[in-house]
Structure 1
Amino acid sequence: MSEERIHILRDILLDLHHGASPESVQERFNATFSGVSAIEISLMEHELMNSDTGITFEDVMELCNVHANLFKNAVVGVEVAETEHPGHPVRIFKDENLALRAALIRVGRLLDSYADNEDEQSRLEISKGLQRQMDLLGQFNHHYQRKEELFFPIMEAYGHDAPPKVMWGVDDQIRDLFQEAKTSVANLPQTDIGQAKVDFEAFSQEFESMIFKEESILLMILLEAFTQDDWIKIAKESDVYGYAIIRPTETWQPQRENFVPAVEEELDHNLEMSTQQIIDTPQGRFTIQFTPKESTQQVDRTTVQPFGNGYLSVEEANLILNHLPMEITFVNKEDIFQYYNDAVPAEEMIFKRTPSQVGRHVELCHPPKLLPKVKKIFEALRSGKKDQFVMWFKSESRGQFVHVTYAAVRNEAGEFQGVLEYVQDIAPYRAIDTDFYREIGEENE
């Protein structure tokens, strides 16, 4: 990969940002590149957003479609064994896009049929079909969530932080466009069919464009950068976020080989670990060599030790945290997502958490549009301006009344150590209308 090529790409995109026409830069691009790797595109966007050019991620996001069209016929494909297996995350991702594109076409045809048919009863039947297809199409959110929560953390760990940030921002724009289209379709015939078609077309264009970006750029970056271990981890955690329209028909279990190190390698390792000292004496020189034993001591999770105002083992502390009726997340003082508990299965979590998120910077765990609020909360808690933020929202679809608290964690000296988030559905508590002692008394009778 040539640094010069990355700089040329950056300069071409800078020209775009400064007002050059897509046609003029396309000619220069074609003259310079016979092929460009997705990794080069990622590195170029990173340099563009982290240099002193003044280009922000919002600027890159605004011209995202222009960038994609620029690279449309030039991105070099990548082939990796096993990705066509029905259970491989790449195959599932592509199959979902096929199913979503089919639903997109069906909605478009139904809208045309509605517009061409003036019979009220026929339109009513078409409306029902439209509702079913829009609900089906709305499952794209599962597809996007898996991308954002499972693909993006690993990309960032490999240094590819620019594409996830830009793509997540565009994902949210597409979500907003879908909600507008869904509302217009749901309100037929009160909404004019012409307006419903306009709203759906606005969504459809951006959605189709994202499919291209996913398959021609995003997946190419992943196939170049990810290891088999990364894909295994993604496959294992994918069920948490669900799937769009289709579900994997088979489990992907790649064959793995265990290798036992050769005796020579063990000897080399022991020599590297040894320390040697040469001592001169009047009688001559002798050598002392010391090889430390590798520690085999394991942390005993069952041994009780002083813990707060009492005594707990690591195992007991873990069980207690997992039995609290709330979801707990801890972000340390370096703004790194460090811990979450298992109060409920991941599929049932209000705010879904998976092992892939642990170790991720908190800002990267949120959609770009929420970053200003997240930063404001953390700055206030860190500075001591606030000790906690409390908020709530109602989830009509799940029948939940969600209560959220962000609390500053400080040590005995008052020094900031991180932020504790705890989330709980308080709808069951609000519904309580029985006196506990009276109910116990009645049961005893």
Structure 2
Amino acid sequence: MMKTIDLRQTVAELVRTYPELRAILAALGFVKILDPMAMKVMGNIMTLPRGAAVCKIPMEKILQELNAHGFHVIGQDERSVRTEKLRSYIDRLSDGEPLESVRQDFVREFDHVSALEIADAEQLLIRSGVPMKQLQKLCDVHSALFHGRTETEAVPCGGKGQGDAAENLSDPDLPAGHPLHLLRAENSGLESVLDELDVQCQKEEMDAEQIWSLLQRFNEVRLHYAKKEELLMPILYRCGVTGPSQVMWGVDDEIKKELGTLTRAVSEDRDNAVLYKGRIAALSGRAREMIYKEERILFPLCMRYFTEEDWKCVYRDFPEMGLGFSVEMDRWEAGEEWAAKKWEKASHQDILDGRVILPTGELTVKQLRSVLSLLPVDITFIDQDDTLRFFVNEGKVFPRPKAALGRDVAECHPPQIIPVVRNLIADFRKKKRTSLEVARYIMGRPVLVKYLAVYDADGAYQGTVEIVQECSHILELFSKQHSSLKSL
């Protein structure tokens, strides 16, 4: 009898049909397949191709081994066809073909394809070397497919995360204060701002002061995007779903950059705000498209993959990240209880009663923590394995979620910045340089960022420290001192 492996099925479905697959896949490197809990959580959402990407096992090796054990593999050709179709759309857009023309063909070709299947194809394109900038051109084309479709149609609901936790995450049943409720409330607030902006842009005589006020409110989208990028996307990365997150993050950055440019322009030249009418209207349209992508693609993906503990971890970091558009932080009781237990466990560790012995003295851990809390800077330490191990965030220049602890440093940065980060750390390892200072204005505030290589007494690389300081008060003090000296 023919044994058929469909690559579109989950690992759990395949193992239920062919129990002997467990040992075959474990020998290939799928070691967690032998763990019942891992199979329960991840096996029900992970396909073989996605698992191969996460475990860094060549798909060709898996196919060879399955064929050697008498399995007939299907589903691979469909994935290849989808990937090449997406590549052809990128080429057409790069050659200057109008977006609407490509969008129509995309909707026709992918009418019955889920967001997950398109995400798989995008990930294959990323691994094949397609630049992220080119993939971002697909973003508006991609979202067009899901206009008018329900979340269930866009992202199949079968095989969500962990048992009852997943079942409780259907949208109507989300508890008050749940992260998705808060994110959707922010999107509603953003849409209200965009509605007002669109009304102003349609007037022959725009109210420049009103445009300025609305652009300031529009800038609160940065808080929303930061939560999406720092709290949601890294968990999707862990689940092997990287394509949609990387593409959306790139588009977020484009929206923020254009918003910053327009905000500065109108701030400096209110009388000529009408000159920016077309760009403001276009940016409003891009922001609306991103809302739609979140509601129909990103959030359903999160609902499918996140466990109950994942959501509680996200909830814990929401106050640190901040809420925009007048959304208030509702209390989610389950999240509060989980966070309280985590804090209680951390605050009662024996090490807090110990002492840190240094060449110039000693401190208890409690004293050290108190001293660090007084420093008006953000300090982040990345260890020798490029893992974020520690931070203090008293300067609060950038949000620092606790969920970032233990992540690879690359997962904490936008896709286009990752090569810069990797190159800097590589230079620190090789001692081509030992520090870097960057001074720039962020939302109108002067900020100094220092990167310092850390070496032990023998000169071995230990990691990298990032120190971020907002310098407004320092410049103000020097300005006052300079004025006083001039008056003498």
Are 1:66 and 2:141 matched, yes or no?
yes
- The 8 Å contact of residues 176 and 332 in structure 2, kept in 1 or not, is answered as yes
Over 3 Å counting, the alpha-carbon distance change for 1:103 and 1:25 in structure 2 is closer
SS of the residue corresponding to residue 353 of structure 2 reads coil
| Aligned residue in 2 for 1:421 | 466
What code does the residue aligned with 2:138 have? L
Over 3 Å counting, the alpha-carbon distance change for 1:247 and 1:26 in structure 2 is closer
C-alpha deviation, 1:410, in angstroms: 1.0
Which consecutive aligned stretches of 4+ in structure 1 deviate over 6 angstroms post-superposition? 255-258, 432-435
- The 8 Å contact of residues 154 and 356 in structure 1, kept in 2 or not, is answered as no
Over 3 Å counting, the alpha-carbon distance change for 1:298 and 1:56 in structure 2 is same
Distance 1:180 1:422 in 2: 26
Matching of residues 7-406 of structure 1 within 5 Å = 7-19=80-92, 21-30=102-111, 33=112, 36=114, 38-50=115-127, 52=128, 54-72=129-147, 73=149, 75-76=154-155, 78=157, 80-81=169-170, 84-113=174-203, 115=204, 117=205, 126-183=207-264, 185-186=266-267, 187-191=269-273, 193=274, 195-248=275-328, 250-254=330-334, 299-304=350-355, 306-341=357-392, 344=394, 349-394=396-441, 397=444, 401-406=446-451
Distance 1:40 1:299 in 2: 48
Distance 1:341 1:145 in 2: 18
The structure carrying a bigger helix percent of its residues is: 2
- Unaligned runs of 5+ residues in structure 2 are 1-7, 10-48, 50-74, 94-101, 158-166, 339-347, 482-488
Distance 2:460 2:318 in 1: 38
What code does the residue aligned with 1:143 have? H
- The 8 Å contact of residues 95 and 246 in structure 1, kept in 2 or not, is answered as no
C-alpha deviation, 1:206, in angstroms: 1.1
Distance 1:23 1:144 in 2: 29
Over 3 Å counting, the alpha-carbon distance change for 1:433 and 1:56 in structure 2 is closer
Distance 1:298 1:175 in 2: 42
Distance 2:324 2:287 in 1: 14
C-alpha deviation, 1:170, in angstroms: 0.4
Of all paired residues, the percent bearing the same amino acid is 25
C-alpha deviation, 1:24, in angstroms: 4.0
- Unaligned runs of 5+ residues in structure 1 are 118-122, 259-296, 436-445
C-alpha deviation, 1:7, in angstroms: 4.2
Deviations 1:325-355 (A, max 9, x none): 432211111211111125x2xxx51132121
| Aligned residue in 2 for 1:407 | 452
Q: Greater CA radius of gyration, 1 or 2? A: 1
Over 3 Å counting, the alpha-carbon distance change for 1:41 and 1:190 in structure 2 is same
C-alpha deviation, 1:406, in angstroms: 0.9
Over 3 Å counting, the alpha-carbon distance change for 1:349 and 1:256 in structure 2 is closer
- The 8 Å contact of residues 435 and 453 in structure 2, kept in 1 or not, is answered as yes
Aligned length: 374
C-alpha deviation, 1:183, in angstroms: 4.7
C-alpha deviation, 1:22, in angstroms: 4.4
SS of the residue corresponding to residue 92 of structure 2 reads coil
Distance 2:351 2:418 in 1: 40
TM value normalised by structure 2: 0.68
SS of the residue corresponding to residue 452 of structure 2 reads strand
